[in-house]
Amino acid sequence: DAKTTQPTSMDCAEGRAANLPCNHSTISGNEYVYWYRQIHSQGPQYIIHGLKNNETNEMASLIITEDRKSSTLILPHATLRDTAVYYCIVRVGFSGSGANNLFFGTGTRLTVIP
Amino acid sequence: SAVISQKPSRDICQRGTSLTIQCQVDSQVTMMFWYRQQPGQSLTLIATANQGSEATYESGFVIDKFPISRPNLTFSTLTVSNMSPEDSSIYLCSVVKAPDNEQFFGPGTRLTVL
């Protein structure tokens, strides 16, 4: 699986949109972009994933560039509870041996400021 | 979604002993994984737990040190054998559910080896 590059940390004012970038310049055509977050002392939480098109759910939006070499996770109205480490990973689907090549990088530590 | 429970939630063990961690899911899942998260680090995949057959281990992890069982589609165990202080970590169970292939994580087991 392709590796990703994320900023080490970011701050965001409460109530504002948090935009978390991720570079995945070596992504392959069959690899998805997944986002997770981990709040201190808890297991990672799934946020959203996508292949080519932009995606939106109740938690966030995922914007993937046309060349798929980068993406942005958007939390539209950040709250203090969104303070966490956010991981961007790229992966093939879960069939066959693809799941054996997962790579969680160091992520972005997002701090939402009151 | 999938509700995942792990037992124990935390333990403090002596060097040279073994600990078995249990993972229970509230519904049948297609895939189960075990991860390790050392202090201040990202997640590292240990192995894929295969139902009815031997687990598939990632580079750097071996069956003698981390034996895994998966007797059915909702339960798995990970044993950390002959523990040393370097095994102190959070151990996380993770599952993938069809049809959307979302991946969910358990709350983790915090292991401290003295």
Q: Which residues of A72-110 are buried (b: 16+ CB within 10 A; e: fewer)?
A: bbbbeebeeebbbbbbbbbbbebeeeebbebbbeebbbb
Q: How many inter-chain contacts (A to B, CB under 8 Å) are there?
A: 47
Indicate which of B92, B105, B111 best probes the interface with A, i.e. most A CBs within 10 Å of its own CB: B105
pLDDT of residue A57: 93
Helix (H, G, I), strand (E, B) or coil at A44: coil
pLDDT of residue A8: 95
In this prediction, residue A2 has a pLDDT band, given cuts at 50, 70 and 90, of low
pLDDT tens readout for residues B27-71: 988 789 999 998 878 888 899 998 888 899 988 999 999 999 999
Nearest to A99 among B4, B31, B43 (CB): B31
